[in-house]
């Protein structure tokens, strides 16, 4: 292909992106040599479609043929890796698009690249409690848990699990606004009495907590985004990135220094 007839980079991207089986096949050929039949079984594409695709790959020198098998060249592997990274980036953006405004990621000063290894759990129409379920799984892996924020919608649906973890010995400290603490104590007195009396739960009060929730587990940090219109947690973002933990610890401690203990009168109300 001469410089005058060379396709533009966008044309090449369009060629790969136009059919999902092209990306899948090029990825597969970077792993090991494969036959046409293997590619057909893997992608569900027809014999003629696979044939045309392989001819185009060969024309671009992305693959080479050895007998009945095809394998990616270094050029093909380079293209496949870049395309997979682009797809992963778009998938991450799609996950975050509708809930990004509920998270303080930009305020922390982190880039999306820094958070790309995070687990992002978004509430779905058919599974509105999947962020809560993810939260519970993180609780089960922790012996110490700290929380500050207004996300009663995160803690309330899993109150049984949270209570049991505290009773079983998980050291827990929660910084709540007084209104939230009062609501929880009056609505679920039986859930609060044993954890408070057992000494594993400390509740502190603060009048100006974040509009989101910060959960500090033993090995990970979670940031939960609450949608006041729907009354549910829309997203739980959790990561083991040191930068996020440093921010979470600093934010938590600044609130803790300003917080006051839960008054016994409030518990007795």
* Residue 32 confidence class, pLDDT cut points 50, 70, 90: very high
Mean of the pLDDT values across residues 59-73? Answer: 96
The pLDDT score that the predictor gives to residue 4 is 45
Can you give the pLDDT at residue 267? Answer: 55
pLDDT of residue 181: 85
Helical residues (DSSP H) of the chain, grouped into ranges: 9-17, 20-31, 36-43, 47-59, 74-97, 105-108, 130-140, 152-155, 159-167, 178-187, 189-198, 242-258, 264-268
Cα dihedral 68/71/75/78 (nearest 10) = 150
In percent, the amount of the chain with pLDDT more than 70 equals 94
Question: Domain 9-88 maps to which CATH number in 1.10.10.10, 3.40.1260.20, 1.20.1090.10, 3.40.50.720?
Answer: 1.10.10.10
Higher pLDDT, 254 or 265: 254
Mean pLDDT, residues 63-68 taken together: 95
Residues 201-218 have pLDDT tens digits of: 999 999 999 989 999 999
Architecture of domain 98-268: 2-Layer Sandwich (3.30)
Q: Where are the domains of the chain?
A: 9-88, 98-268
The per-residue pLDDT for range 97-127, each reduced to its tens digit, is 888 888 888 877 777 776 667 888 999 888 8
Which residues lie below 8 Å from residue 256, measured CB to CB, with a gap of 6+?
148, 173, 175, 204
Helix or strand or coil: residue 125?
A: coil
Task: Say how far apart CA 166 and CA 100 lie, in whole Å.
Answer: 31
Please write the tens of the pLDDT for every residue from 35-60.
Answer: 999 999 999 999 999 999 999 999 99
Query: CB of 164 within 8 A of CB of 139?
Result: no
Asked whether residue 197 carries a pLDDT value surpassing 90, the answer given is no
Which residues sit opposite 127 in a β-bridge?
Answer: 124
How far apart are the C-alpha atoms of 210 and 226, rounded to whole Å? 11
Spatial distance between the Cα atoms of 196 and 238, rounded to a whole number of angstroms: 27
pLDDT above 70 for 7? yes
Lowest mean per-residue pLDDT among 78-82, 149-153, 184-188: 149-153
If you average pLDDT over each of 65-79, 117-131, 171-185, which comes out highest? 65-79
Cα separation of 195 and 166, whole Å?
Answer: 6
Mean pLDDT, range 235-251, rounded to an integer: 93
Token couple for 75: 């050029």
Asked if 9-88 and 98-268 have one fold, the answer is no
Q: Half-sphere exposure of residue 50, counting CA atoms within 13 Å on the CB side? A: 19
């Amino acid at each position: 292909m001469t410089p005058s007839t060379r396709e533009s980079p966008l044309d090449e991207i369009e060629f790969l992106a136009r059919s999902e089986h092209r990306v899948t096949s090029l990825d597969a050929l970077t792993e090991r040599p494969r036959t046409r039949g293997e590619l057909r079984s893997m992608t569900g594409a027809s014999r003629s479609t696979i044939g045309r695709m392989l001819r185009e790959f060969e024309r671009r020198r992305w693959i080479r043929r050895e007998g009945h098998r095809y394998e990616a060249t270094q050029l093909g592997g380079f293209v496949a890796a870049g395309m997979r990274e682009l797809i992963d980036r778009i998938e991450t953006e799609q996950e975050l698009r509708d809930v990004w405004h509920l998270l303080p990621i930009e305020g922390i000063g982190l880039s999306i690249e820094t958070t790309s290894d995070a687990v992002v759990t978004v509430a779905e129409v058919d599974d509105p409690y999947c962020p809560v379920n993810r939260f519970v799984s993180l609780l089960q892996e922790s012996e110490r848990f700290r929380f500050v924020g207004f996300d009663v919608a995160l803690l309330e649906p899993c109150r049984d699990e949270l209570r049991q973890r505290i009773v079983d010995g998980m050291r827990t400290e929660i910084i709540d606004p007084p209104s939230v603490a009062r609501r929880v104590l009056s609505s679920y007195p039986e859930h609060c009495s044993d954890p408070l009396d057992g000494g594993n739960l400390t509740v502190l009060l603060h009048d100006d907590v974040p509009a989101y929730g910060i959960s500090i587990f033993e090995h990970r940090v979670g940031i939960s985004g609450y949608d006041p219109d729907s009354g549910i947690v829309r997203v739980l973002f959790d990561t083991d990135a040191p930068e996020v933990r440093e921010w979470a610890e600093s934010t938590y401690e600044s609130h803790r220094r300003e917080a006051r203990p839960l008054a016994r009168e409030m518990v007795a109300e």
